[in-house]
Amino acid sequence: MKYVDEFRDGALARNLAHSLAAAVDPARTYSFMEFCGGHTHALARYGVVDLLPASVRMVHGPGCPVCVLPIGRIDLAIGLALERGVILCTYGDVMRVPASGGLSLLRARARGADIRMVYSPADALQLARTHPQRDVVFLAIGFETTTPPSALVLRQAAREGLKNFSVLCCHVLTPSAITHILESPEVAQYGTLALDGFVGPAHVSIVIGSAPYEPFASAWHKPVVISGFEPLDMMQSILMLVRQVNDGRAEVENQFTRAVNREGNRAAQAVMAEVFELRDSFEWRGLGEVAHSALKIRPAFAAFDAEQRYALQYRAVPDHKQCECGAILRGVRQPTDCKLFGTVCTPENPMGSCMVSSEGSCAAHYTYGRWRDIPVVAA
Ligand code: SF4
């Protein structure tokens, strides 16, 4: 398949592995954060980590949209479905994220709530059209990638004057999360999390372009390389990061030139700006409250804002005491540091959000690499 097969070529991967081995400075180590959960998944799935020199360490970032959704937000959605009788629609991965009281959206559905998995917000809008006697709420999650479709359905609902459709907006922003990581005590104060650069997200960057990452290079002196999702994309991006570090450069480079440019998708940005505005603050799972890191629905579309329509009051809820998702999402722990990993917590029975989506660090680690962490016992 064009743009896929040629980025999975084994001979080219070996060449890139040799180039990486030759490029690294034996006198130092390298630590790069892949922000995006899709990259975490690709690193694990294709065994890219095994092809990297031992001195190159990849740190998983908070870019899995399902993982960073805090319990309190899922509780709001469950409350709407169980207590207000709405048809609650959302993406499939969100259905299994643990919420309060042992519930998840899936378990709430088993209790009789009308909760439906949809492939896009347009499906939820169509449900509202076909069920005019029922209130339909779309639980909108994700980074800048999934925000434009949410904006489009809100604008469409307003144009049609729908009275039974609203959106519970939980969209979050990538650059704010990277800033938060760089300002975290582990990076900025104690130096316990060394970061030499970032692998920039692919799909998010198609929407926002490469320009929003420029302050990380100019002000923070951190190289950023925007990368595609295929294994060769990732290896080439890591090589580009190594070369920047060796040269003492900090620039935004774009490896994913077949899809990303500096400006991004102007039409998508315009519809996002028309419908959404910045929130003062938003709770992220693992990162806590992060200023100006999420979007809310503009007053002009207030009739379609589920938070206003149902006068929802947000209540923060702590994670399971033994779950290390928070530390994993901040890059300071690995999945295997968690006592529950692979025993109590598995993809079939997730105790925390990082084990739910295939983009979650724990799920990727469990699915593709758990055997590495089990000590071999001689027969
Ligand atoms: S293994 Fe499960 S409980 Fe532990 S950090 Fe990961 S998601 Fe949380």
Cβ 351 under 6 angstroms from ligand 1? yes
Cβ 366 under 6 angstroms from ligand 1? no
Between the CA of 335 and the centroid of ligand 1 the distance, in Å, is 7
How far is residue 36's CA from residue 255's CA, in Å, rounded to a whole number?
A: 15
pLDDT, one tens digit per residue, over 227-280 is 999 999 999 999 999 999 999 999 999 999 999 999 999 999 999 999 999 999
Predicted pLDDT of residue 358: 87
Predicted pLDDT of residue 28: 97
Structure tokens of 319?
């994670």
- What is the CATH T-level fold of the domain 71-174+264-309, as seen in this structure? Rossmann fold (3.40.50)
How far is residue 6's CA from residue 41's CA, in Å, rounded to a whole number?
A: 19
Residue type, 375: P
Between the CA of 325 and the centroid of ligand 1 the distance, in Å, is 6
Cβ 98 under 6 angstroms from ligand 1? no
Q: Which residues pair with 281 in a beta bridge?
A: 291
Predicted pLDDT of residue 319: 86
Same fold, 5-64+177-254 and 71-174+264-309: yes
Residues in the chain predicted with pLDDT less than 50, given as ranges, are 374-379
Cβ 260 under 6 angstroms from ligand 1? no
Rg (CA), the chain: 21
Residue 57, exposed/middle/buried by CB under 10 A (0-12, 13-18, 19+)? middle
Q: What is the DSSP letter of 94?
A: G
Q: What is the DSSP string of 227-287?
A: --SSHHHHHHHHHHHHHHHHHT---EEES-TTT--SS--HHHHHHHHHHEEE-SEEEETTT
Predicted pLDDT of residue 304: 98
Contact residues for 379 (Cβ-Cβ < 8 A; gap 6+):
none
* Residue 324 Cα: closest atom of ligand 1: 5
Predicted pLDDT of residue 190: 81
Cβ 37 under 6 angstroms from ligand 1? no
Q: What are the two backbone dihedrals, phi and then psi, of residue 295, each rounded to the nearest 5 degrees?
A: -115, 150
Predicted pLDDT of residue 375: 47
Between the CA of 143 and the centroid of ligand 1 the distance, in Å, is 22
CB atoms < 10 A from the CB of 133, how many? 5
Predicted pLDDT of residue 372: 58
| 246 to 35, 154, 175: CA distances (angstroms) | 21, 47, 25
- Residue pair 104/95 in contact by the 8 Å Cβ criterion: yes
Predicted pLDDT of residue 191: 79
pTM of the predicted structure, to 2 decimals? 0.93
Between the CA of 80 and the centroid of ligand 1 the distance, in Å, is 27
Predicted pLDDT of residue 187: 87
Cβ 352 under 6 angstroms from ligand 1? yes
| 10 to 13, 54, 95, 147, 366: CA distances (angstroms) | 5, 20, 37, 36, 24
- What is the CATH T-level fold of the domain 5-64+177-254, as seen in this structure? Rossmann fold (3.40.50)
- Residue pair 201/144 in contact by the 8 Å Cβ criterion: no
Predicted pLDDT of residue 369: 75
Minimum CA distance residue for ligand 1 atom 6: 362
**Domain residue spans of the chain:** 5-64+177-254, 71-174+264-309
Predicted pLDDT of residue 283: 97
